A and B are shown apart, each in its own frame.
Chain A
Amino acid sequence: MSIFKELQRRWQYWRDRSLRDAELQEELQFHIDHLDTRQKRARFGNATRFREDARDVWISRALDELLSDVKYAIRGLRKSPAFAATAIGTLALGIGAGTAVFSLAQAVLLKPLPYPDPESLVMIFEGNERSAKSRTDTSPATYRSLRDSMRTMEKLALFGSTEKNLTGEGEPERLDGGTASANFFSTIGVQPFLGRLFQAGDDEMGKEDVVVLTYELWERRFASDRAIVGKQIRLNETPHTVIGVLPPKFRFYFERFELWTPFALSPERWAASRGARYIYVTGRVRNGFTMAQVQSELDSLGADFRRDFPREMSASKFGAVGLHDRMTEDTRTSLYFLLAAVIALLLIACSNVANLQLARSVSRGAEMAVRSALGAGRGRLLRQMLTESLVISVAAGVIGLVIAQGAFTLLQTLVPSGMAANARLGLNASTVGIMFGLAFGATLLSGLLPAVRGARSLTTRAIGDRGQDRARGVLIVAEVSLAILLLTSAALLFRTFANLNDVDPGFRANDLLSAQTVLPPVMYKQPALRTRFYTDVLERVRAIPGVASAAYTSAVPTTWKGGFSGYVAEGKPFIRGTSNAMMRQVTSDYFATMNIGLRAGRVFTASDRAGSEMVTVVNKAFADFVWPGEDPIGKRLRRGAPESDTPWIRVVGVVENVLEMGLANKPAAITYFPESQHPAASFSSPLYVVVRTQGDPAAFAPALRRAILDVNPNQTVAKLMPVTQIMAKEVEERRLHASITVAFAAAALLLACLGIYGVLSYAVAQRRREFGVRLAMGSSQSRLAGLVLGSGLRLTLAGVVIGMAAAWALTRYMEALLFQVTPHDPVAFGIVPAVLLVTALVACWIPARRAMRLDPSEALRYD
């Protein structure tokens, strides 16, 4: 098609315009140099104009023509406002949703991470041999070994999380912080906003009491005090010197870190840390090495580790993943799905508008014929019709931006944590660029077929030919099948969401309030003080009117998907890697407060004290795994690895499973221990207070805070909220998937039905005379209605069949997004075609009824 080649050449010219301009100048100079003096004088001063004239061929004239086409198109659209409104509205829906989802994908998948040379940043994980995909943290000692031996990595830094109580000026506050090796910031390549970042030596024992603030914390808590560097702040009741402030929006891997402290351990603890996996390793691939080479070095190092440290690392296996890949890997499936869904919606919108334009081009046949007779070439007419599509698409795009703007807040939730600060969705250059891209795509998709057909029917003068009807029929079938595809995925995701909502978490989340109180180790060195704190707080909380019961626990379910540790069950083989259970320390009222069902034995009582027999309560998953078919009550187990000399602990009870790992995951094996028998600070020491209330738990929040501050006015109280709110976060993403897809599907259904309605109404109008004749020949009105209905339903059915087949083939790619629903869920596959057929029937019925009401005499006179 020469018009496209021409557009392409114009585009190329525009792209290289400064070069082309220089070429023209040189060419003209060459010409003038060959002229004699008389000729030269005649042309004096004209060279610039010649050049401009030549350049105008490419740009100005094209622009002029485009402008006049645009003016003409706008005039045409204003003459048929119903058509314009429907087409623009339809496309606005598609382009708006498309802009939102494509912007999300661009921000997450394409936008590079905000560090220098982000491609060379990788994360190194220690997994285990059983599953290559499992990625756990690694240990400080292993980090050191990797740092010292890896040749394919240029820099290797360690980082982890820490929590700090910030006290001193203002309210005491609980902050999430990062802790990192001294080379961490230089590995990432970030420069300080104020002061300095970590440097060699900061992570040595005794020098580690320094802190780097994030820009946001500095702004929020220290009122952007530029003199902050060198000042001291109290973290966990220890003075720390502020050495620097990070640039705005600096985040790494975790979104929540508000400050960074050096990672320091005593030499003994470094040496003993081999089995304690709680830190992350990141680094830069050495120039010239590939990820495959990094991985193969890790494979061989892994073999060394397994040989050298059989006790701690017998099953270790290492993996390297690009930082960006790692950060986006959980979101990628959702994103691909949303992209597919929004493309389907956009295609439906385009084919609907194509359909509208086909109908319109028929009614505009006369106008086109006149223009053609007046000398407009086919190419010119084609371009004019395409320009009209372009005007529609761009208008729709601008409205679409408003729709996208509304969707951004919703979609922001899907930006992976760790990227959110730098991937704020909103109106910006790239969003507008994406909108225009989609608008141009929509122009071609919705405008090309009508334009080509319009221009052809003009030359053949075969207006309203059968080919036209067939094209419209094909579009309807395509629309219906795409709508089926969207409806099916919506149904599957909706069922997933409903299933998740129905999952019994193993406890009653309603009327439950929780808060996190972290005890700074400096102040609670003596174990008895911790127990004392818990007892005092609980006593005060229980005294609040309307509180039924209260307890302390390591973590509210789902807030800590970790805390696994080894155990040895008496008389059972110890299998490294599988003899792992969650450790939870609770006070005696925990099970009653949470409403966790007791299956056998007893729960803890006040008589399970320090000094009495050590006891544990295990969950059903643990009992089934360790003692299948046996009665676990009275059996004994020990915490830690076989070679440790921890005391034996007796199982006194079995409780129902609590879904600590999240609602969509299998219940983990859990062992509960009474806090009073393990008073020394450990990773599973109680952190959260849970309160069973009578009535709205949120109403008890102030009283709970007061009760805690009564015990210690410097105590931080964080994450104070009803437990239902915590659980809602668990289903948040699925709820979002379901609601977005349901919205898409509803729009698709509406558009497909509009399409069917449009085609049939048009056919009825067109066949008015034929129907009149049929009526006059004695055909009954209901038979005519049946005729119309039948032709609509035939198209719908074809679309349904194709759509169902496509859905059947494609839904399996969504499997990762589903929960307790198979991709071929009979309910979804049963309901969807029914819903579509019923709606389509309504869309067919209205034009059919119109056919039925035809008055034969009038119909024949018409036109």
Chain B
Amino acid sequence: MAQSDSIPPGTLYMLVLKTLARLGPMHGYGIALFIQETSDGVLEVEEGSLYPALQRMLLKGWVEAEWRQTENNRRARFYSMTAEGRKTLRAEVQSFDRVNRAIDLIIHPSEG
């Protein structure tokens, strides 16, 4: 089900949280679209991974959901970030940066 060049495991939560931090309350399709567009089409989020992830985040209490009308008058479930989610995002981003730097040090060893 997962596409070949999909999102590295574990980072999807962070991406969703970051998206919500940027956009405010948004529905699942909007989140997927934003991630895809912002990453220049590199990161494609499948429903098969997006919705379970959203459910898990609901379970963890990182996001809250609410049914609202969209601009073209359809009902959609909008997700928004909780305080817990904000905390998690901060922690995730920090550890992501740390790991990234570490990987970078290994993959591109600086000659100096």
Contacts and interface: CB of A to CB of B under 8 A. Distances in A.
Interface residues of A, number: 27
Given A9-B58, A23-B77, A54 B51 contact: yes
Closest 7 CB pairs of A and B: A57-B55, A54-B51, A31-B29, A53-B52, A54-B55, A54-B52, A57-B56
A2 B1 CA distance: 32
Chain A: interface secondary structure? helix
B20 to A, nearest CB: 16
B61 A2 contact: yes
A55 B55 contact: yes
A28 interface: yes
Chain A CB count within 10 A is highest, among B1, B29, B60, for B29
Interface string B48-79: 10011011101111000001000000111100
Given A46-B48, A50-B48, A57-B52, A30 B74 contact: yes
Contacts of A10: 59
A280 to B, nearest CB: 57
Contacts of B18: none
A27 B76 contact: yes
Contacts of A58: 55, 59
Contacts of B1: 46, 49
A32 interface: yes
A23 B33 CA distance: 20
A54 B77 contact: no
Contacts of A26: 75, 77
B89 to A, nearest CB: 16
A31 B51 CA distance: 10
Given A27-B28, A30-B76, A31-B28, 6 more contacts: A6-B60, A23-B67, A31-B29, A50-B52, A53-B52, A54-B52
B47 interface: yes
18 contacts: A2-B60, A5-B61, A6-B59, A9-B61, A10-B59, A23-B77, A24-B55, A26-B77, A27-B28, A27-B76, A30-B75, A31-B32, A32-B47, A34-B33, A47-B47, A50-B52, A57-B55, A58-B59
B27 A30 contact: yes
B48 A49 contact: yes
Nearest to A27: B77
Contacts of A34: 29, 33
Secondary structure dominating the interface of B: helix
Contacts of A46: 1, 47-48
Interface of A: 2, 5-6, 9-10, 13, 23-24, 26-28, 30-32, 34, 43, 46-47, 49-51, 53-58
Interface in B24-51: 27-29, 32-33, 47-48, 51
Nearest to A30: B76
A13 to B, nearest CB: 8
Given A30-B74, A31-B28, A50 B60 contact: no
Contacts of A2: 60-61
Contacts of A55: 55
Nearest to B51: A54
Contacts of B47: 28, 31-32, 43, 46-47, 50
A13 B32 CA distance: 24
Contact of B59 (A31, A50, A57): A57
A661 to B, nearest CB: 64
Contacts of A51: 51
Contacts of A27: 27-28, 51, 76-77
A764 to B, nearest CB: 46
A56 B52 contact: yes
Nearest to B31: A31
A623 B9 CA distance: 97
Contacts of B58: 9
A17 to B, nearest CB: 12
A55 B74 CA distance: 23
B54 A54 contact: yes
B74 A50 contact: no
B104 to A, nearest CB: 25
Nearest to A51: B51
A54 B28 CA distance: 13
A203 B59 CA distance: 67
Contacts of A56: 52
Central interface residue in B47, B52, B60, by most chain A CB within 10 Å: B47
B61 A28 contact: no
B51 A53 contact: yes
Tell me which of A9, A43, A47, A50 has the highest count of chain B C-beta atoms within 10 A of its own C-beta: A50
A24 B28 CA distance: 11
Contacts of B32: 31
Contacts of B75: 26, 30
B95 to A, nearest CB: 15
Contacts of A47: 47
A807 B55 CA distance: 52
A9 B55 CA distance: 11
A26 B74 CA distance: 11
A5 B77 CA distance: 22
A5 B29 CA distance: 28
